[in-house]
A = this chain, B = another copy of it.
């Protein structure tokens, strides 16, 4: 079951703006209708708040693994990860992109943002 309490943070090593991207290529959850597994790639991008925190990489991995046997739609996974990570870090900006392998010839990508990217990263 998705477990936000798995997420751990550490203080950002710089107060100048910078952006962090972690791509998890091995995400899996379960389709709530058919019970078949879904497979996807989760891209997380964020800018720590000034004097803020970063998410610890191993805890992020364990948090993603907690979706393994959860029945949940693509759209709901994406919004939940955005909300959980924004809640854990209160970053200046955060973006979650989920990229799902095809089902019956249809591939899907869902993108959700929290806040606006800083000026120097606009349009990435």
Contact = CB atoms under 8 A, between A and B. Distances in A.
B24 A108 contact: no
Interface string A62-105: 00010011000101101100100000000000000000011111
Q: What size tier do the contact residues of chain A reach?
A: 35 or more
The winner among A13, A101, A119 for most chain B CB atoms within 10 A is: A13
Contact of A18 (B22, B79, B107, B121): B79
A50 interface: no
Contacts of A60: 106
Interface of A: 12-14, 16-26, 28, 36-37, 39, 54, 57-58, 60-61, 65, 68-69, 73, 75-76, 78-79, 82, 101-114, 116-117, 119-123
Complex A-B, nearest 6 residue pairs according to Cβ-Cβ distance, in ascending order = A26-B105, A18-B112, A14-B79, A21-B109, A23-B107, A13-B76
